[in-house]
């Protein structure tokens, strides 16, 4: 098999695939990759994602004067501390990231103190991915209010630990 593939420079991708897998012989490539472009979600979903991204970004808006915004685009919003509080470097506070499958809200203080999660609703717990990430596909005002309260507690933790 390897010997067959070594001299493939003059062959098309379909002939290479047919050599590697005889069952594909005569079929065009099933999945062609685009030139590094992400596949955008459907229009309704894209609109929900944009609204969700904006609403989650607003949760961090009141902390911009005490934290440093390191990324602010239509797909990424990052906040970190202004002081060099962790190993001589600024400490990540949080982010909102628009992905292909969902919009993620990251809150780093949850790593520092998991007790901040005490009392969160079961619905918000379902949205949790890992220790400090919450995923959404559409705006949810009730959960966003709960995240805002959680963010306030996280900011208070950073303040008490002199990490700002």
Residue 29 vs residue 110, higher pLDDT: 110
Quick one: angle between helices 43-61 and 141-160, nearest 10?
A: 30
Please count the residues of the chain. 164
For 4-19, the pLDDT digits (tens) are 434 434 444 444 444 4
Q: What confidence tier does 38 reach under pLDDT thresholds 50, 70, 90?
A: low
Helix spans in 27-140 (H): 43-61, 109-112, 122-126
Question: Domain check: are 50 and 125 in the same one?
Answer: yes
Q: Is the pLDDT of residue 22 over 50?
A: no
| 103 in Cβ contact with 138 (< 8 Å) | no
In a domain? residue 37: no
Q: Is the pLDDT of residue 88 over 70?
A: yes
| 97 in Cβ contact with 75 (< 8 Å) | yes
Distance CA 78, CA 93 (A): 8
Query: 158: which 2 tokens?
Result: 């950073």
pLDDT of residue 40: 57
Question: Domain check: are 5 and 63 in the same one?
Answer: no
In a domain? residue 25: yes
Q: Is the dihedral of CA 8, 11, 13, 14 positive or negative?
A: negative
| 57 in Cβ contact with 75 (< 8 Å) | no
Average pLDDT over residues 115-122: 91
Question: Domain check: are 103 and 134 in the same one?
Answer: yes
Taking the CA atoms of residue 49, residue 118, residue 91 and residue 51 in that order, the dihedral angle to the nearest 10 degrees is: 10
| 56 in Cβ contact with 144 (< 8 Å) | yes
Task: Please state which of the ranges 6-10, 25-29, 92-96, 136-140 shows the lowest mean pLDDT.
Answer: 6-10
Round the average pLDDT of the chain to a whole number and report it: 80
CB atoms within 10 A of CB 163: 18
Question: Domain check: are 65 and 136 in the same one?
Answer: yes
pLDDT of residue 85: 73
Q: Which domain holds residue 149?
A: 43-160
Q: Is the pLDDT of residue 105 over 50?
A: yes
pLDDT of residue 32: 46
Distance CA 20, CA 42 (A): 35
pLDDT of residue 6: 40
Question: Domain check: are 150 and 118 in the same one?
Answer: yes
| 102 in Cβ contact with 135 (< 8 Å) | yes
Q: Is the pLDDT of residue 107 over 70?
A: yes
């Amino acid at each position: 098999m390897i010997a067959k593939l070594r001299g493939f420079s003059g062959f098309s991708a379909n002939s290479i695939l047919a050599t590697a897998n005889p069952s594909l012989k005569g079929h065009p490539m099933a999945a062609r990759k685009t030139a590094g472009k992400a596949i955008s979600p459907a229009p309704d979903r894209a609109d929900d994602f944009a609204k969700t991204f904006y609403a989650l970004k607003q949760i961090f808006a009141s902390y911009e004067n005490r934290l440093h915004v390191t990324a602010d685009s239509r797909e990424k919003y990052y906040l970190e501390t202004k002081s060099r509080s962790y190993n001589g470097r600024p400490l990540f506070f949080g982010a909102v990231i628009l992905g292909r499958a969902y919009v993620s809200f990251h809150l780093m203080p949850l790593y520092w103190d998991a007790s901040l999660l005490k009392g969160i609703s079961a619905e918000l717990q379902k949205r949790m991915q890992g220790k400090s990430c919450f995923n959404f596909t559409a705006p949810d005002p009730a959960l966003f209010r709960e995240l805002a309260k959680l963010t306030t507690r996280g900011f208070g933790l950073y303040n008490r630990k002199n990490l700002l």
